[in-house]
């Protein structure tokens, strides 16, 4: 149905167990706190599509209140077909290493992280870059709620491009142009624990502070 403002209204009910889904305005992802099923609202179709939602256990313990903030995680298969910097990167082997890892000595990038909560774009870039570079081993659990996912998985794919280009631009060869594909697949949402400390939030996985 359409209301007076022309907005479409969707019944937010879990299709698995029938419970009402908790939501905030502008949410794109809904988590059933009764059965643990996750849904993404596909705006073009006004449809709730099942999506996996997990929550990561904090690895850095702090005595502070925890909030779980949503990220999109994709499997990624990054292919760079051309890359042109002002300075050459050296050997072909060095080039390949630069392509497939976040940096010197880091793990291969097989998962791409995109923060999806309401926060300035600089935080999205920093957190997206650091989580994607670090490829943290997350221990997943089921929790009671996840709200505040402001981006659809489609939006998150566009943000992944922005994060990837930021990572490449930080490499020391002064990137001028690049042709690539991120090969993103299997989007799922994950609640990353953040500690509320003073006026800022510190994530419980890598310990990055944002404000």
Please, what is the minimum distance in Å from the beta carbon of residue 13 to Zn ion? Answer: 9
The C-alpha atoms of residue 71 and residue 162 are separated, in whole angstroms, by: 15
* CA dist list (Å): 166 to 98, 122, 133, 159: 14, 11, 12, 11
Task: Please check whether residue 175 is in contact with residue 168, taking contact to mean a CB–CB distance below 8 angstroms.
Answer: yes
Regarding 196 and contact with Zn ion (CB under 5 A), the answer is no
Please tell me the distance from the alpha carbon of residue 193 to that of residue 178, in angstroms, as a whole number.
34
| Shortest distance in whole angstroms from residue 114 CB to Zn ion | 25
Answer yes or no whether residue 32 interacts with Zn ion by CB under 5 A.
yes
Distance (Å, rounded) from C-alpha 197 to C-alpha 129? 22
Q: Does 33 bind Zn ion (CB under 5 A)?
A: no
Q: Does 169 bind Zn ion (CB under 5 A)?
A: no
- Classify residue 106 by its DSSP letter: P
Least CB distance to Zn ion at residue 50 (A): 10
Considering CB under 5 A, how many residues would be counted as binding Zn ion? 8
| CB of residue 49 to Zn ion, shortest distance in Å | 14
Antiparallel, parallel or unpaired: β 53-56 and 185-197: parallel
Measure the CA dihedral 167/162/78/72, to 10°. Answer: 110
The answer to whether 14 contacts Zn ion (rule: CB under 5 A) is yes
User: Taking the complex as a whole, how short is the minimal distance between the CB of residue 130 and Zn ion, in angstroms?
Assistant: 33
The correct pick among 22, 23, 34, 162 for binding Zn ion (CB under 5 A) is 34
In the bound state with Zn ion, the residue whose beta carbon lies nearer, of 23 and 210, is 23
Q: Does position 16 bind Zn ion by CB under 5 A?
A: yes
DSSP single-letter state for residue 107: P
Minimum distance from residue 18 beta carbon to Zn ion (Å): 7
Asked whether position 53 contacts Zn ion by CB under 5 A, the answer is: no
Q: Tell me if 131 sits within 8 A of 116, measured CB to CB.
A: no
Q: Which of 35, 49, 50, 169 binds Zn ion (CB under 5 A)?
A: 35
What is the contact surface with Zn ion in residues (CB under 5 A)?
14, 16-17, 19, 32, 34-35, 37
């Amino acid at each position: 149905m359409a209301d007076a403002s022309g907005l479409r209204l969707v019944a937010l009910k879990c299709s698995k167990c029938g419970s009402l889904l908790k939501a905030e305005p502008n949410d794109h992802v809904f988590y059933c706190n009764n059965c643990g099923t996750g849904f993404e609202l596909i705006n073009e179709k006004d449809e709730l599509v099942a999506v996996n939602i997990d929550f990561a256990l904090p690895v850095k313990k702090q005595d502070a209140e925890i909030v779980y903030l949503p990220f999109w995680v994709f499997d990624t298969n990054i292919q760079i077909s051309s890359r042109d910097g002002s300075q050459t990167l050296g050997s072909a082997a060095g080039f390949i290493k630069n392509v497939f890892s976040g940096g010197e000595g880091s793990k291969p990038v097989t998962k791409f992280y995109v923060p999806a909560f309401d926060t300035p774009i600089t935080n999205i870039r920093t957190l997206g870059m650091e989580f994607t570079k670090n490829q943290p081993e997350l221990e997943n659990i089921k929790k009671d709620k996840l709200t505040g996912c402001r981006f659809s998985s489609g939006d998150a794919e566009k943000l992944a491009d922005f994060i990837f280009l930021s990572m490449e631009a930080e490499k020391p060869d002064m990137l001028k142009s690049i042709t690539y594909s991120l090969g993103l697949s299997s989007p799922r949402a994950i609640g990353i624990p953040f500690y509320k400390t003073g006026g800022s939030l510190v994530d419980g996985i890598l310990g990055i502070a944002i404000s």
